[in-house]
A and B are shown apart, each in its own frame.
Chain A
Amino acid sequence: MFLKNQQSQKIDLLKLPPKTTIDADTIALLERLSLVDCANKKGIETLEAAIEFADQILQVDTTNIEPLITVLEDIPLRVREDKVTEGNCKEDILKNASVTEEEYFVAPPGNIPLEARENPLYEEELT
């Protein structure tokens, strides 16, 4: 499978949009949504650098081009017949859980939102 009308364009690093800065509230929200430990100085720096890198793509001329979601878009979506072929393996399913009770998984009650940190811009990283 090959790309028709392949064009190469040059990225002018001087014409990038102004660098996006992430404020304390945003990084706190992102941390809460993703549960990824990133609300610290290094985390913010990494995120801002990643956005700056991605900004390059804004210079590509995409007029009249359909958005590309995946290069696999021409692969036919495989479907299966409606038959029961899996399951019935309770032991395997429950094997990795640290706490079970009468074949149920045990989880903490409801959703406990991540506690907001005092200062989301603290210097030290957690290892």
Chain B
Amino acid sequence: MSSCDTTIYPVEFQVNGEKRTIRVRAADILLYTIRDKLGLTGSKSGCDNGDCGTCTILVDSLPMKSCLMLTVEADGKKITTIEGLMNSPVQHAFVQHQAFQCGYCTPGFIVNCQGLRNVHPHANEDTIRVWLESNICRCMSYEEIHNAVKDVFMKKEDGEAFSSRS
């Protein structure tokens, strides 16, 4: 059992392929550790309540709302943020389809879509719909976002490959 008398804990994890070791309060939320301690500000703070999805990151390839995760829970995990998906097929599809307006929700949608590719490489329309329900776009770009995501999976069928840095 690992335990400590104080409320400060070492956390060692891999973030976008880079090994990082930091010290955090047990009460620190992963979203703010990523933004404020690691300087990776692509993951956004929206509702801070697990509702909007703009803080979504990948933890061991699975999408997680980083506002609902303690940093200490990420010890030993592989984290991918939006910065780790630079030049990914998902990013390109969002640009190509102009799947954004203000762009605030875009990191969460892109990361979630990458998570969907990881878990369901051949996701069908129903699965795509269910996964996209985890994120909210206040600008109502849902049609373009849906088209971008569908495009990603159609292209993947054609053999396009990308490995996220995790």
B is bound to A: no
